[in-house]
Structure 1
């Protein structure tokens, strides 16, 4: 083979490239592959809206059930003002149409205004009940995606949580203005810290039924009935790599069993990284004839899955409703003496 000047040049380039590749550290060529475990690669934290600061404005709206009167949210308003926040009330906040806080269109208009208004940094839902699902598909999230803001609430507001999670944004599961009259100092403090970007970690005494273990994942969830009802809808979310929080109120045990098995049959439970069970409002559960407590029912549905499951986390339809930021990465540690939940 005759090697001319042009061929020599090609060989020289190839040799140089080979030398560079051999001398370049692997971590510079593929940082992600070398520094992230397979488990960490599967964890994709949602976009975190800007944390609040003194002087910011928030808006209170009622996308579900009606308020009995204007005084129902007074303590919530005063609390937010004490934090240095400005309060805007939805135009239709105190209206009533049958079970709802105004017609579907009125509730939709208030929520849409809150989503669109750049000056509103958080949307605090006044109360739960029922009705958010009737308006969620009519909402336009274009402005929200450009200028994300915190959505705060629980119970029926789980519908909104799941909708913004589907879009890739974090939200806060916490006490609403309508519940501030009976909220504990801890419920108020953890909401404040969550909204203003301060550290929030929890340690509670273990329940004997807890499944032990340690895992990391993105926290999602809310009211069990709503989570189950979102399956197959436009608000359904991918459970892979997630830690699921669930709570509920007023549900017969057979309904809890059915909801858990509905989630299981849809494949929702198998790819989770853990389950945090909040309050289920059973005062005399031993007298409810089903064949087990809600804890045993939940454990039975997930017995073959290798992830931690913890019970009695203080959140849900209770006075001591600790705030939880959905969409952030958390580490769940369940051992024989305690449970630690920390945001990572």
Structure 2
């Protein structure tokens, strides 16, 4: 049976920590003020505002603070400060025994993909692919994607409509949604956190990657057998993709579509998630229905039901 963290109630405690790259303290304090206005109590960890090379703090400090928040049964959600790099350096030293007794929502994206995949593959507990403190600013606080985090914390239904993309492969599928940042997913291939991809809907996004490297990473997932087992593929943003002096000849989306052309599952491009302002909250590790025709929608399935995949026939 799925061990789903409890949804938040007014007065619940939310922890903020920076387990990867550094972030200025006022960024965390502004986000904490927004969360307080939503009716929650907030505890900001010391790593928010610390600076140690590229990291917020040395490995043992970042790990220790995250461990404390994982262990604390009073904390009902952890909102990470930002991504960057660093989770992979501490993930294997974390003890999740107390977390399994008192599961809480782990909320973030980018480098937090390492934690999402570890928790899904090893523990089977859902997490949230969402904005972090760095995405809650004076310019975004009223935006619907910020509001989406509050609604999911409250237990609101996840049912997003989004425009159909010309490259979409149409169809309808059902499967457990997992994934996140493509670079991190590739790095996890072959590790103990590598997921079973059978009948999953895979979410991928990335930022600042050279196009040839996107091709290489997709080839890695293909050769590892991740793609052939999927129920569906959901593409978020591929922001600021880069070219070398010699053009690769395809866009990021075209590269990805080429790597899955031999499979029949539905593919949806342009879901508003990833390294961009429009970063809507998604519950990872639970079943969804994905429809890639006009209009496209992604809907969390709240009742257990058998899988009914409707894939287009390959020509």
Q: Do the structures match in fold with TM over 0.5?
A: yes
Superposed CA offset, 1:280-328 (max 9, x none): 114898x982111111100111111111001011110111111111011
Tell me what 2:265 maps to. Answer: 307
Aligned 8 A contact 2:208 2:242 in 1: no
The counterpart of 1:151, out of the listed 106, 109, 121, is 106
Residue matched to 1:15: none
Aligned mates of 1:178, 1:302 — CA distance in 2: 33
Q: Distance in 2 between matches of 1:46 and 1:254?
A: 39
Alpha-carbon distance between aligned partners in 1 of 2:200 and 2:241, rounded to the nearest angstrom:
30
CA distance in 1, matches of 2:2, 2:232: 18
Q: Secondary structure at the match of 2:238?
A: coil
Q: Structure 2 matches for 1:107-146, cutoff 5 A?
A: 107-146=62-101
* In structure 1, distance between residues paired with 2:118 and 2:29: 28
Structure 2 unaligned regions, length at least 5:
302-315
1:26 is matched with which residue? none
Maintained 8 Å contact 2:128/2:284: yes
Question: CA offset at residue 338 of structure 1?
Answer: 1.9
2:6 corresponds, among 50, 53, 58, to 50
Distance 2:240 2:295 in 1: 23
In the other structure, the counterpart of 2:313 is none
Paired residue for 2:311?
A: none
Post-superposition offset of 1:59: 0.5
Distance between the aligned counterparts of 2:56 and 2:193, measured in 1? 22
> Would you say the 8 A contact 1:61–1:110 is kept in 2?
yes
Map 1:92-111 onto structure 2 (within 5 A).
92-111=47-66
Distance (whole Å) between structure 1 residues aligned to residue 17 and residue 29 of structure 2 = 14
Give the alignment partner of residue 339 of structure 1, picking from 285, 296, 302.
296
CA contact (8 A) 2:222 2:228 kept: yes
Q: Is the 8 A contact 1:126 1:177 kept in 2?
A: yes
The equivalent position to 2:135 in structure 1, one of 141, 159, 179, is 179
CA distance in structure 1 between the aligned counterparts of 2:46 and 2:25, rounded to whole angstroms: 13
Q: Using the alignment, how far apart are the partners of 1:259 and 1:57 within structure 2?
A: 38
Partner of 2:308: none
List runs of 5+ in structure 1 lacking aligned partners: 1-44
Structure 1 residue 46 displacement after superposition: 4.3
Q: Deviations over 1:133-184 (max 9, x none)?
A: 0000000000001111000000001011111111100000111012211536
Normalising to structure 2: TM-score of the pair?
Answer: 0.91
The whole-number CA distance in structure 2 between the counterparts of 1:284 and 1:271 is: 30
Q: Which residue, 190, 195, 198 being the options, matches 2:148?
A: 190
Partners of 1:97 and 1:46 in 2: CA distance? 38
| 3-state SS of paired residue (2:78) | strand
Q: How many residues align?
A: 297
Structure 1 residue 194: Cα displacement:
1.1
Q: Does 1:78 align with 2:36?
A: no
Say whether 1:65 aligns with 2:46: no
SS in 2 for 1:289: coil
Deviation at 1:73, TM superposition (A): 2.0
- Other-structure match for 2:248: 290
Runs of 4+ in 1 over 6 A off after TM superposition: none
Distance 1:283 1:262, change over 3 A: closer
Aligned to 2:46: 91
Largest Rg, 1 or 2: 1
1:259 is the counterpart of 2:217: yes
